[in-house]
Amino acid sequence: MSDRTIRVPGATYRLQFNQNFTFSAATRIVPYLHELGITDLYASPYLRARPGSTHGYDVFDHGSLNPEIGSESEHTAMSRALAQHGMGQVVDIVPNHMGIAAGENRWWKDVLENGPSSLYAPFFDIDWEPLQPELAGKVLLPILGDPFGRVLERGELRLAYGDGHFQVEYFEHRLPASPVSGALVLRAALESLDLPRDHLDHMELESIVVALERLPSRSSTDPASVAERRREKAVTERRVRALHESSDSFRGALQRAVDLFNGTPGDPRSFDRLDALLDNQAYRLAFWRVAAEEINYRRFFDINDLAGLRMECGEVFDATHELVLRWLAEGKVTGLRIDHPDGLFDPRGYLRRLDHEAGERSPDGPRPIWVEKILTGDEPLPDQWPVAGTVGYEFMNPGRWPFRHHPKPRGDGRHLP
């Protein structure tokens, strides 16, 4: 790798991007920031986050920009304006966790639908074999406003059909129903279907139900079973969708089945079917107050909507950094601020890999700036981290591996090594 000029920010200006302050808005003020003497824009996270997010730390998709902030062309225009004024751009990224609220995160939705057999199950820190036997192979979701039985019998949990599959709705939450539990609903529809058994639509629905019931178990994690489950699930969803579009009889039977599962408030026994369907999921719904005692996925502090990522796994690193590394290689981004690396399993290993990958992709470009954990008061920097700490929002002095830096004062007046 060739030696490269290290770009050290002289004066940074942090911009908080959201739907009220976009790339276009930032582009318009670049000349003003330059006139003030700002050398580098310090941008808040702007990858796709929870809709309406004001901060961007609840990232849903590391592979795309937040559409509320702007498009790829608008991002390029902002980067070009910065370059024209000799300014760099340091971007805040979030490797520790992802936002999982409201059913917007496709990786998390796949985990909830397929459990341990999901392709994305290894991406999250989930204990699939916790001490509570009722949670074996399941994720605890403490999202209910009351104990489960009360919520169920009030009719607040609703089964719904859409586009070939089923989901469970609870206020703003949209939770996928497992394929096998979908078979329960389709079999109920089959029983009320007003067509002869030798009718093509009747035979098609019966075939779909059998195919779903024969899917590999969600506890099967060998590659062949996982591939078969994903393939056959996609095929059956397409078949259900087509039958729903073409058959009036099926649409009516399906609606009757969904209504049957949703029960009637005031009649507790009418919710038995929905209770059984929910018990057949890769998640267990629970009262939010049990989170501290029973939660079995790593969160960001105690925030249930932010699930920890296993960044020590190569496939997780690759899937979450491809876009950012491309921006570094293209020169659109000249530095990174890493949010909470202290939550990672192996902070040192993560930073080594980030340094290596950035260098491999942009061997002749400006050296990225790794801006690390912000220390408060007398908080020390872990000795094993190959980075310098900062107090407040100052930047560390960057360097090539193994990160050389000048001493920085700590809160107690001493210096970092």
Q: What are the boundaries of each domain within the chain?
A: 12-96+309-391, 127-295
pLDDT band, very low/low/confident/very high, at 8 (cuts 50, 70, 90): confident
Whether 315 shows a pLDDT value over 80: the answer reads: yes
Judged by average pLDDT, the poorest of 47-51, 270-274, 327-331 is 327-331
pLDDT band, very low/low/confident/very high, at 311 (cuts 50, 70, 90): very high
310 phi and psi angles, rounded to 5 deg: -90, 75
Please state which architecture CATH assigns to domain 12-96+309-391. Alpha-Beta Barrel (3.20)
What's the pTM value of the predicted model, to 2 decimals? Answer: 0.85
pLDDT band, very low/low/confident/very high, at 388 (cuts 50, 70, 90): very low
Name the percent of the chain lying above pLDDT 90.
71
pLDDT at 396: 38
DSSP string, 270-313: GGHHHHHHHHTSSEEEEEGGGHHHH--B-EETTEEEEEEB-TTS
**Between residues 399 and 287, which one has the greater pLDDT?**
287
CA–CA distance, 58 with 77 (Å, rounded to integer) = 25
**CB-CB contact of 155 with 263 (8 Å):** yes
Greatest mean pLDDT range, 165-174, 363-372, 379-388: 165-174
CA–CA distance, 153 with 80 (Å, rounded to integer) = 57
Judged by average pLDDT, the poorest of 35-44, 332-341, 384-393 is 384-393
Is cis: bond before 402, omega within 30 of 0? yes
**CB-CB contact of 100 with 307 (8 Å):** yes
Whether 408 shows a pLDDT value over 60: the answer reads: no
pLDDT at 140: 94
CA–CA distance, 145 with 210 (Å, rounded to integer) = 36
Average pLDDT value for residue range 160-183: 94
CA–CA distance, 66 with 16 (Å, rounded to integer) = 13
Residue type, 76: T
- Mean pLDDT score across all residues of the chain: 86
pLDDT at 343: 82
pLDDT at 403: 33
List C-alpha distances in Å: 324 to 9, 64, 92, 318, 352. Answer: 19, 10, 10, 10, 16
Average pLDDT value for residue range 240-252: 97
Of all helices (H) and strands (E), which one includes residue 239?
Answer: helix 223-246
pLDDT at 395: 40
Whether 60 shows a pLDDT value over 80: the answer reads: yes
Whether 386 shows a pLDDT value over 80: the answer reads: no
**CB-CB contact of 68 with 50 (8 Å):** no
List C-alpha distances in Å: 133 to 139, 219, 303. Answer: 12, 15, 24
Structure tokens at 19: 């739907």
In terms of Cα–Cα distance, which of 164, 273, 244, 256 is closest to 212? Answer: 164
pLDDT at 362: 73
pLDDT at 394: 39
pLDDT digits (tens, 9 = 90+) for 106-135: 999 999 999 999 999 999 999 999 888 889
Judged by average pLDDT, the poorest of 55-69, 224-238, 387-401 is 387-401
Whether 246 shows a pLDDT value over 90: the answer reads: yes
Average pLDDT value for residue range 306-326: 95
Pairing of strands 165-170, 158-162: antiparallel
